[in-house]
Chain A
Amino acid sequence: MTASILSAAGTIVSVAVGVVAAGLVVFAIVYHAVRKKQGKSGCDCGCSGCAGCTACGSAKKKEEKNK
Chain B
Amino acid sequence: MLKFALAGNPNCGKTTLFNSLTGSTAHVGNWPGVTVDKREGVYKKAASPVAIVDLPGIYSLSPYTPEEVISRNFILDEKPDCVINIVDATNLERNLYLTTQIMEIDVPIVVALNMIDVVKKSGDKIDAKTLEQKIGVPVVEISALKDEGIKELMDRAYEAAQKKRAGTTVLESSALAHVISDVRIALKGKGVENPLFHAIKLTEGDELEVKAHPDEMQMVEEFKKQFADDVFEGDFEAMVADARYKYISANFSTAFVRAKKSEKLTKSDKADRVLTHRIWGIPIFLVILFAIFHFTFGEDLLYLNAIFGFATDVDTGNEVLNAFVAVFYSSAGVSTPGAILFNLMGFICDQIGGGIATGLENVGAAEWAQGLVNDGIWGGLSGVLSFIPQILFLFLLISILEDSGYMARVAFILDRAFRKFGLSGRAFIPMIMGFGCSVPAAINTRTLADEKERIMTNRVIPFFTCGAKAPILAAVCGAIVHIWNPGIDQGLIVFLLYVFGMAMAVITVALMRQTTMRGEVPPFIMELPAYHAPQFRNLMVHLWDKLKHYIKKAFTIIVASAIVIWFLSHMSWEWHYLPDERMNESILHDIGAFVSWICTPMGFGYNTAVMRETGWVFVVAAVTGLIAKENVISTFFVLGNCLGGALNEETMEGWEAVSFLVTETGITWQGLIAFTVFNMLTIPCFAAAATVKGETPKGKFKFTVAFWMITSYLTATAVFVVLSWWWTVFILAAVIALVVAYFILRNKGKINLKFRKRSNAAKE
A24 near B377: Cβ-Cβ < 8 Å: yes
Question: In chain A, residues 26-67, which have Cβ atoms closer than 8 Å to a Cβ of chain B?
Answer: 27-29, 31-32, 42-57, 60
Q: B37 — which chain A residues lie within 8 A by C-beta?
A: 52, 54-55
Chain A residue, CB-CB nearest to B373: A17
Per the 8 Å Cβ criterion, residues 135-186 of B in contact with A are none
List residues 8-43 of chain B with CB under 8 A from any CB of chain A: 25-27, 29, 34-40
Contact with A along B351-380 (1 / 0, CB 8 A): 000000000100111101100110011000
17 additional A-B pairs beyond A17-B373, A49-B542, beta carbons within 8 Å, are A6-B364, A10-B364, A10-B365, A13-B369, A17-B365, A18-B369, A24-B563, A27-B556, A43-B691, A45-B440, A48-B26, A48-B542, A51-B29, A52-B443, A52-B446, A53-B27, A54-B37
A-B CB contact pairs (8 Å), 19 listed: A17-B365, A17-B373, A25-B560, A25-B563, A27-B556, A44-B553, A45-B439, A45-B687, A46-B542, A47-B26, A50-B437, A50-B439, A51-B34, A52-B440, A52-B443, A55-B37, A55-B446, A56-B691, A57-B694
Instruction: Give every chain B residue within 8 A of A60 (Cβ-Cβ).
Output: 694
B424: interface (CB < 8 Å): no
User: Which A residue sits closest to B560, measured CB to CB?
Assistant: A28
B-binding residues in A (CB < 8 A): 6-7, 9-11, 13-14, 17-18, 21, 24-25, 27-29, 31-32, 42-57, 60
Interface segment among B517-525, B543-551, B647-655: the answer is B543-551
Q: Which of B552-568 contact A (CB under 8 A)?
A: 552-553, 556-557, 559-560, 563-564, 567
Q: Within 8 Å CB of B690, what residues of A?
A: 42, 57
Q: Given that A18-B369, A21-B377, A43-B439 are known contacts, is A50 also in contact with B27, CB under 8 Å in the complex?
A: yes
Q: Is the CB of A13 within 8 A of B557?
A: no
**Inter-chain contacts of A45 with B (CB < 8 A):** 436-437, 439-440, 549, 687
Determine whether the beta carbon of B439 is less than 8 Å from that of A9.
no
Q: How far is A11 from B26 in the complex, measured between Cα atoms in Å?
A: 49
A53 CB to nearest chain B CB (Å): 7
* Beta-carbon contact of B25 and A48 below 8 Å: yes
- A-chain residues with CB within 8 Å of residue B40 when the two chains form the complex: 54
Interchain CB contact (< 8 A) of A44 among B26, B39, B557, B564: B557
Smallest Cβ-Cβ distance to A42: which chain B residue:
B687
Cβ contact within 8 Å between A32 and B556: yes
B:29-75 near A, CB below 8 Å: 29, 34-40
Question: Interface of chain A, helix or strand or loop or mixed?
Answer: helix
Q: Provide the residues of chain B in CB contact with A25, threshold 8 Å.
A: 560, 563-564
Q: How far is the CA of A9 from the CA of B363 in the complex (A)?
A: 6
**Complex Cα gap A9–B364 (Å):** 7
Q: A21-B376, A48-B541, A51-B433 are in contact. Are A56 and B443 (CB under 8 A)?
A: yes
B96 at the A/B interface (Cβ < 8 Å)? no
Determine whether the beta carbon of A46 is less than 8 Å from that of B363. Answer: no
Query: Is B559 a contact partner of A28 (Cβ separation < 8 A)?
Result: yes
Chain A residues whose C-beta falls within 8 Å of the C-beta of B456 in the assembled complex: none
Are A43 and B688 within 8 A (Cβ)?
A: yes
Q: Which of A7, A17, A24, A44 contacts B369 (CB 8 A)?
A: A17
Contact string against A for B residues 684-717, beta-carbon threshold 8 Å, 1 for contact and 0 otherwise: 0001101100100000000000000000000000
Contact of A31 among B436, B437, B439, B556 (CB under 8 A): B556
The complex places the Cα of A54 from the Cα of B436 at a distance, in Å, of 18
Contacts of A10 in B (CB 8 A): 363-366
Measured between beta carbons, the chain B residues less than 8 angstroms from A56 are 439, 443, 691
Question: What distance in Å separates the Cβ of A16 from its nearest Cβ neighbour in chain B?
Answer: 8
- The answer to whether A43 and B437 touch across the interface, beta carbons within 8 angstroms, is yes
- How long is the Cα–Cα vector from A11 to B687 in the complex, in angstroms? 40
B70 to chain A, nearest CB (A): 9
Give the nearest-CB partner of A9 in chain B. B363
Minimum Cβ distance to chain A for residue B688 (Å): 7
Q: Closest 10 CB pairs between A and B? A: A10-B364, A52-B443, A28-B560, A45-B437, A55-B37, A43-B687, A14-B369, A48-B545, A43-B439, A46-B545
CB distance from B656 to the nearest CB of A (A): 24
Least CB distance from B59 to A in Å reads 18
User: Bound complex: CA of A53 vs CA of B198, how far in Å?
Assistant: 31
Residue contact B559 to A49, C-beta cutoff 8 Å: no
Q: How far is the CA of A47 from the CA of B40 in the complex (A)?
A: 13
Whether A54 touches B39, Cβ cut-off 8 Å, given contacts A9-B364, A43-B691, A45-B549, is: yes
Contacts A49-B27, A52-B440; is A29 near B549 (CB within 8 Å)?
A: no
CB distance from B167 to the nearest CB of A (A): 28
Q: Are A13 and B545 in contact (CB under 8 A)?
A: no
A23–B712 alpha-carbon span in the complex (Å): 36
Name which residue of chain B comes closest to A6, CB basis: B364
Residues of A within 8 A of B691 (CB): 43, 56-57
Would B439 and A55 count as touching, CB distance under 8 A? no
**In the complex the two chains form, what is the Cα distance from A14 to B694 in whole Å?**
45
Please give, as numbers and ranges, the residues of chain A lying within 8 Å of B372 by CB-CB distance: 17-18, 21
Q: At the interface, yes or no: B628 with Cβ under 8 Å from chain A?
A: yes
CB-CB under 8 A for A51 and B27, given A9-B363, A31-B556: yes
- A9: chain B residues at CB < 8 Å are 363-364
Q: Is the beta-carbon distance between B36 and A44 smaller than 8 angstroms? A: no
B665 within 8 Å of A by Cβ? no
Note all chain A residues with C-beta closer than 8 A to B26: 47-48, 53
Say if the beta carbon of B444 comes within 8 Å of chain A. yes
CB-based contact A52/B36 at 8 Å: yes
Pairwise interchain contact B546-A29, C-beta atoms closer than 8 A: no
A18 to B563, CA, bound (A): 10
